[in-house]
A and B are shown apart, each in its own frame.
Chain A
Amino acid sequence: MKTFLQLGLAATLSSMALGATAQTDIQWWHAMGGKNGELIQGMADQFNASQDKYKINPVFKGSYAETMTAAIAAFRAKQQPAIVQVYEVGTATMMYAKGAIYSVEKLMKDNNQPFERDGFVPAVISYYSTPDGELLSMPFNSSTPVLWYNKDALDKAGVSKIPTTWAEVGDAAKKLVDSGMKCGLSVGFQSWVLIENYSAWHNLPIGTLENGFGGLGTELVFNNEHVKKRLSILQEWTKDKRFVYGGRAGASLPMFTNGECGMWMNSSAYYGSIKSQAKFNFGQTMMPLDTLVADKPQNSIIGGATLWVLQGRPEAEYPGVAEFLAFLASPEVQSNWAMESGYVPITQDASNVMTVQGFYADNAGTDTAVKELSLNPPTANSRGLRFGNFVQIRDVINEEMESIWAGDKTADQAMDTAVERGNKLLRRFEKSVQ
């Protein structure tokens, strides 16, 4: 009896082992912790259950910066994953690593997977495409800046119309402060919101050569009169708390959710956090228009991350990678991900599914991001940006903007210095990839 059991056990084990070897393992490194991490595992499980040739293995690698660094270190040691999630500022570093990446569009074609370029939200894929329009990495989680507002506070301050221009934002901020609030407006990811998106929204160039899409010789040019003017007005606002700076990235979120600031400009992806933390009626609307600069807005640019496919894995893995990416872009999977996570759906079909299911109707304002992104066909100024060493350049911009808020520099000086320092970093990058 005992031997019989052992035999049976051995047979089961070996059949399991056989099953495991027949499947091709595909590593996917990502930077999504918490609830989004669970959603990712769920998508992988769903895909793994749908077929038996490939097994997607999602591995959480920490922050965006950590995930990217880990993947690069692994590539240097020839231990890279097939798929890695990289944030938008790492795009130039990835795309100029010619021998390291496998263009997603080429991968799909090589493996006969459906790929409809026209089906994607234009401003989403333009950020990650070559100047010829070839999509290099698969958009995964995308968001865009919106204006968040505390409806109750605006009502109390007597602001009846939700601000749509910067002049109205200024008036509303004044009324909010007058009504006893500690701050009118705050902002997160200031470089992304107040420089990059402000420029795209008003169709102003951020850098030469189509914001860097045209080549490595690009130079920053955001130190123009419009950006400087807007920042110096904001500096003026800091004096009477119409504008209060609350730190980098999302550090100022509590200022909005605690009811200190009546308005907050930051990513649309904060929907979930605000919904769970704010004890007031809130809403989101499109970024304000600067009527001193333009008559109507252009379109916003995205933030977030995409999935890059790395070269150098065994041949057998790539058909599976292509199949999985097609699975992720399918309307059902994509709309589910967008509804659960709060990110922008990357295809029109997925967005339509959400409309049909009544998601936008039930969650007022959640379509703001998609609207901003697809407001107009992207121009050379609003397609996105492609600058090397952009992680450091954003730091430089953060530093210089902080010196504006602290009153140490004028907007004029700070922007000129930011551009000068940023251009040095661009030249270093140019040298590094040649």
Chain B
Amino acid sequence: MLKRSHFQPSLLPYLLVAPQILITLVFFIWPALQALYESFYIQSAFGLGTTFVGLENFVDLWEDPLYIESVWRTFMFSGLVAILAMSLALLFAALADRVIRGAMTYRTLLIWPYAVAPAVAGALWIFMFDPTLGIVSYALDMVGVDWNQAVNGTQAMALVIMAAAWKQIAYNFLFFLAGMQAIPPSVYEAAAIDGASPMRRFWNITLPLLAPTTFFLLVMNVVYAFFDTFGIIDAMTQGGPANATEILVYKVYQDGFVGLDLGSSAAQSVVLMFIVIVLTVVQFKFVEKKVQYS
């Protein structure tokens, strides 16, 4: 039997993890607990009156058919953003990986959108698709499509999905490309000698070896779509028309920061936090089993 410890107990490891723990406590645990606490109260905007209401904020959400719709809408939105952003990024990475001349320029251009602020990204897309001024809506008009995202909810949803995915492609591209370049060329050479076509090499070598990257990106993209897209939605549709693009995080922002209904907003963020925790656990428990790390 091993002795309990081969080392003298030391303070050093605790000191080394302390900054990380501290940051987590201050920027995650504390606000999360605060949100949990506030979700049991209805309070006035100025904080002058506070009434304990138990679970009423949650019950109100549960009984609101629009909120339940918004939950499903969020799943659809996040799924589509993740799939679109990841599949396009994979395609671009696979193509960029083969480029030899001017590779740096090509890659830089693809990574560029990541540096664009969400609100600016939103403004760019809304400008291209503006029913009156937009160049894309003008082109669509010529082929007989009546584009007006201010009225048509499906068009508005398609537009925010495109913008949100576009913003994330650069990030995914970076990871896919790095993953591809980490695959030893000898593996491809061996496959090529055995007569495997480029497509087959992609499907049977690149893709399986990218599994850890893909899994990581799946988690990141879902979290991104759930939490980080409200800037884009705010700049483009403000959740409209008729709620068509109101996803959960936008409603949290709208009710809390614009409407100043902190109780409901806190309850919504608790629900959102819970959903993302469950999603992440599910991903780690089931999807990760299929991932080969070496």
Name the B residues within 8 Å of A258 (CB-CB).
Answer: 132-133
Whether A406 touches B151, Cβ cut-off 8 Å, given contacts A72-B260, A432-B51, is: yes
Task: Assess whether B198 is interfacial by the CB under 8 Å rule.
Answer: no
Assembly CA distance A57 to B19 (angstroms): 39
Please state if B150 and A434 are interface contacts (CB–CB under 8 Å): no
Whether A248 pairs with B49 at a CB distance below 8 angstroms is no
Which residues of B lie under 8 Å from residue A288 when comparing CB positions?
A: none
Does A402 have its Cβ within 8 Å of any Cβ on chain B?
A: yes
Q: A98-B48, A400-B242 are in contact. Are A247 and B150 (CB under 8 A)?
A: yes
- B45 surroundings in chain A (CB, below 8 A): 72, 93, 97, 432
Which residues of chain B from 34 to 93 have any CB-CB distance to chain A below 8 Å in the complex? 42-49, 51, 53, 60, 66
Partner of B240, one of A246, A392, A398: A398
Closest beta carbon of chain B to A254's beta carbon, Å: 5
Cβ A399 vs Cβ B44 within 8 A: no
Chain B residues, CB < 8 A from A72 = 45-46, 260
Contact of A97 among B46, B150, B151, B255 (CB under 8 A): B46
- Do B133 and A97 touch across chains, with their CB atoms under 8 A apart? no
Complex partner residue of B238 from A97, A248, A252, CB under 8 angstroms: A248
Is B131 in contact with A433, judged by CB distance below 8 angstroms? no
Which A residues are CB-close (under 8 A) to B47?
A: 75-76
Give chain A nearest CB distance to B58 CB in angstroms.
14
Contact A432 B258, beta carbon cutoff 8 Å: no
Which of B153, B243, B261 is close to A389, meaning CB atoms less than 8 Å apart?
B261
Residue of A with least CB distance to B130: A254
Do most interface residues of chain A lie in helix, strand or loop, or is the interface mixed? helix
Q: What are the residues of chain A within 8 A of B46 when measuring CB–CB?
A: 72, 75-76, 97, 99-100
A96 to B260, CA, bound (A): 14
User: How far is A106 from B254 in the complex, measured between Cα atoms in Å?
Assistant: 34
B172 interface contact, C-beta 8 A: no
Q: Which residue of B lies closest to A310 (CB)?
A: B46
Contact, CB under 8 Å: B261 / A428: yes
Q: Give A403 to B47 CA distance when docked, in angstroms.
A: 35
How many interface residues does B have (CB within 8 Å)? 36
Contact B43 A254 (CB under 8 A): no
Q: Does B264 lie at the interface of the complex (its beta carbon under 8 Å from any beta carbon of A)?
A: yes
**Which of chain B's residues has its CB closest to A403's CB?**
B242
Interface contact A399-B261, CB-CB below 8 Å: no
From 119 to 147 in chain B, residues with beta carbon under 8 angstroms from any chain A beta carbon are: 130-133
**A69 part of interface (Cβ distance < 8 Å):** yes
Q: 0/1 per residue, A385-419, Cβ < 8 Å to B?
A: 00001011001001110110110100000000000
CB neighbours (8 Å) of A354 from chain B are: none
Q: How far is the CA of A76 from the CA of B46 in the complex (A)?
A: 6
Verify if B197 is at the interface (C-beta below 8 Å from A): no
Smallest beta-carbon distance B225→chain A, Å: 22
B263 within 8 A of partner (CB): yes
Contact of A69 among B53, B131, B132, B258 (CB under 8 A): B258
Residues on B facing A (Cβ under 8 Å): 42-49, 51, 53, 60, 66, 130-133, 148, 150-153, 238-243, 254-255, 257-261, 263-264
A/B interface sample: 12 pairs, CB < 8 A: A99-B46, A247-B241, A252-B150, A389-B261, A391-B259, A395-B254, A399-B241, A406-B151, A424-B60, A428-B60, A431-B53, A432-B43
